[in-house]
Amino acid sequence: MAVKFKDYYDLLGTSKAATEDDIRKAYRSLARKYHPDVNPGDKSAEEKFKDINEAYEVLSDPDKRKRYDQLGPNWKAGSDFTPPPGWQGANVGSDGFGDGFGTGQGSTDFSDFFGSLFGSTRRGARAGAGFRTRGEDVDAEITLTLEEAHRGITRSVTLRRNEPCPTCNGSGSKDGKTCPTCRGSGTVRRDKSFDVTIPAGVRTGSVIRLAGQGDPGTDGAPTGDLFLHVRIEPHPLFEIISEDDIQIELPVSPWEAALGAGINVPTLDGTAEMKIPAGTQGGKRLRLRGKGLNKRQGGSGDEYVKVKIVIPPRLTAREKELFGKLAAESHFDPRDLLPRR
């Protein structure tokens, strides 16, 4: 019976020309997708997870990968195995691979065959001996109110992320076998909470780096970093109109706009008094200098106040009387302001 070889490059979705970095990225992406913790009870995902770990164990090691590539052009088509130079006389057939390569185990699976061929002991289904890789960086989003972005805040954050497996200490193996807890990946998914200090002056799109809070490295390699991407929530009063400036639409009564008035305007830090000039029209923008968003480098932007003239929704009898007198007295016709045709 012909030996059916697995195409490890195909399993990882790469080509034989893939770099070590390409293979590592492909493996990590697939490992996340098919990890049993992400697909509980899914047998097909579990088998896929085993296959990609098997492929990565070989292709991540330069010496193992070189020997794997020397198996010849027919392995992908499923033809009988042709041993590379130095392995003549090995008994390869339907009996299995073990005894032919000195394992003393008789029939065994394809993973054990490669373990014998390449002269190493599996350290779980994750990486070859001595393979140390820095942990991957993790990206997450943190949502802030406008006031929090303006003033800065210390926020407690809880993220579900990879942690070194407590059973195998991240090695992927336990007592010479694949770790039963992490199933060879070396990591488990857990919630972790920690405090994050957000500086004043961040904006939507700002990135906060937390060193050493990413995914763990392999075999004691350094942990990756966590990158928090800031998003500012919409505000019920203020609109961000530029990098540092905000705007508020302020209701003003007809008499305040006509006669002028001193009024209190909401700001991010309380209220500020502003003068409404007499004769102010609806839609006019007034400026409060230095009442905008704090800047990271110091100083603040401006707050713009857009005037919105409103009338009382319900008039008392006296108000109706006064408006009636004003209408009778005034010769102002707002339609006269329309452009001439």
What is the pLDDT, as a whole number, of residue 277? 96
pLDDT tens track for 2-22: 445 578 888 899 988 888 888
On whether the CB atoms of residues 81 and 68 are closer than 8 A, the answer is no
What is the pLDDT, as a whole number, of residue 5? 59
All structural domains of the chain: 8-117 (1.10.287.110), 138-232 (2.60.260.20), 238-337 (2.60.260.20)
Give the whole-angstrom CA distance, residue 184 versus residue 213. 22
pLDDT tens track for 84-138: 444 433 333 333 333 333 333 333 333 333 333 333 333 333 444 445 778 888 8
Contacts of 310 (CB under 8 A, 6+ apart): 251, 252, 253
What is the pLDDT, as a whole number, of residue 281? 95
Beta strands across the sheet bearing 303-309: 238-240, 246-252, 303-309, 285-288
Mean pLDDT of 53-59: 81
Mean pLDDT of 52-61: 81
Give the whole-angstrom CA distance, residue 319 versus residue 295. 47
For 102-115, give the DSSP string. Answer: T-S--S--HHHHHH
The end-to-end CA distance of the chain, in Å, is 94
Mean pLDDT of 11-40: 82
On whether the CB atoms of residues 162 and 216 are closer than 8 A, the answer is yes
Give the whole-angstrom CA distance, residue 42 versus residue 50. 13
Smallest Cα–Cα separation from 270: which of 155, 149, 148, 147?
147
Smallest Cα–Cα separation from 312: which of 236, 237, 255?
255
pLDDT tens track for 175-187: 888 899 988 888 8
What size, in residues, is the chain? 341
Give the whole-angstrom CA distance, residue 273 versus residue 257. 15
What is the pLDDT, as a whole number, of residue 158? 87
Decide which of 36 and 306 is more confident. Answer: 306
Which of 59-73, 131-145, 249-263 tops mean pLDDT?
A: 249-263
Give the whole-angstrom CA distance, residue 149 versus residue 142. 11
Residue 49 has pLDDT above 90, yes or no: no
> Average per-residue pLDDT in the chain?
79
pLDDT band per the 50, 70, 90 thresholds, residue 160: confident
pLDDT tens track for 194-245: 899 999 999 999 999 999 888 877 767 788 888 999 999 999 999 999 999 9
133, 135, 142, 165 from 215: Cα distances, Å: 11, 5, 18, 12
Helix, strand, coil shares of the chain, percent, nearest 5, are 25, 25, 50
pLDDT tens track for 320-335: 999 999 999 999 998 9
What is the pLDDT, as a whole number, of residue 84? 44
